[in-house]
Amino acid sequence: MNTLIDTSRTVGDLVTEREARGDVLESLGIDFCCGGRRTLKQACREAHLPVCRVLDKLAAADIAAADAPAVNWSRASMSDLVDNIVSTHHVFLRRELPALYARIDKVCLVHGDAHPELLEIRALFRQLRRELEDHMAKEEIDVFPACKAIELRPAAARKEGLAAAIAELETEHARVGEAIHKIRHLSSGYAVPADGCRTYKLVMEGLARLEQNTHQHVHKENNILLPKARRKL
Ligand SMILES: [Fe+2]
Ligand SMILES: [Fe+2]
C-alpha cells in the first residue's frame, strides 16, 4: 500500500496540493468540492472503495504529474486565485453554457421521443445555466472584489454582510452540485445510446466536461478562497 498520502487529510486539501488528484477522485465518484472537508478515509468509506486502491491511483497520478508545474492555490494570494477562477472557470462557463444548451435543444428535437430523459436534462440544464450565470455575477460584482479588498486593506475593507454572502455562495454551490449529479444520473453517466448521433455524443462529452470543470471550480472557491476570506473577517 502507498503510505505517502495521509488518509486523515481532507480530500479538498489533497486536491489543493495537486490538482491532478481531482481527476482521480472524479473518476472514482468521490466528491472533493462540496464534500471536500471529509478525510480521505471517510470519503473512501462513503464511496465503498478500499482505501489502498484509491491511494495507489493517487500515487500514480502524482508520479505522472511530477514533471508538470503544480500550482498550490492555498499559497497564492486571494487576488491571484480570484483572477484564475474568473479567467479559467467563469470564461469556460460563459463559453460552454450557451453552446451546450443549443446542442441539447437540438438533440431533444431529434431524440426526445425515444429518450424522454433528454427533456428532463434540458429542463435541469436550463435552470442550472440561469443559476450559474446569476451566481457568477454575484461573485464578480460583490464577493470577489470584497476578497481582494480585504487582502489589500483589511482595516478599510467592507466586512459587514460578507459572511452571509459567502454562506449564500456555498449553499448555491451545493445546489449546482446536486443539479449536475441529477444530470449525470439521468444520462446514465453521460452514456451515448446505440442510436445516438454525433451531436448526442457531443452533448454527453460537453456535460462530462462541465461536471469536471465545475468540480475544480467549486473546489477552489469552497475549499481555498472562501475559507481564506472568512479567516480575515
Ligand atoms: Fe465561481
Ligand atoms: Fe461559485
Place of cell 478599510: 156
Please enumerate, as own/partner, the contacts of 110-117 that have beta carbons within 8 Å and a separation of 24 or more.
110/197, 110/199, 111/195, 111/196, 111/197, 111/200, 114/195, 115/193, 117/186, 117/187
CA of 82 to the centre of ligand 2 (A): 11
Q: What is the pLDDT of residues 139-167, one digit of tens each?
A: 999 999 999 999 988 777 777 889 999 99
Q: Look at residues 9, 37, 31 and name the one whose alpha carbon lies nearest to residue 224.
A: 37
Q: Supply the pLDDT for residue 3.
A: 53
73 closest CA partner among 233, 184, 220, 227: 220
Query: What spacing in Å lies between the alpha carbon of 50 and ligand 1's midpoint?
Result: 33
Cα of 199 vs centre of ligand 2, distance in Å, is 29
What is the amino acid identity at position 108?
C
Cα–Cα distance between 114 and 81 in angstroms, integer?
Answer: 44
Mean pLDDT of 195-223: 96
CA-based nearest residue to 23, from 220, 213, 225, 221: 213
**What radius of gyration do the chain's Cα atoms show?**
19
Q: Residue 170: nearest ligand to its CA?
A: 2
Q: Rounded mean pLDDT of the chain? A: 93
Residues 71-83 have pLDDT tens digits of 889 999 999 999 9
Q: What would the pLDDT profile of 171-182 be if each residue is shown by its tens digit?
A: 999 999 999 999
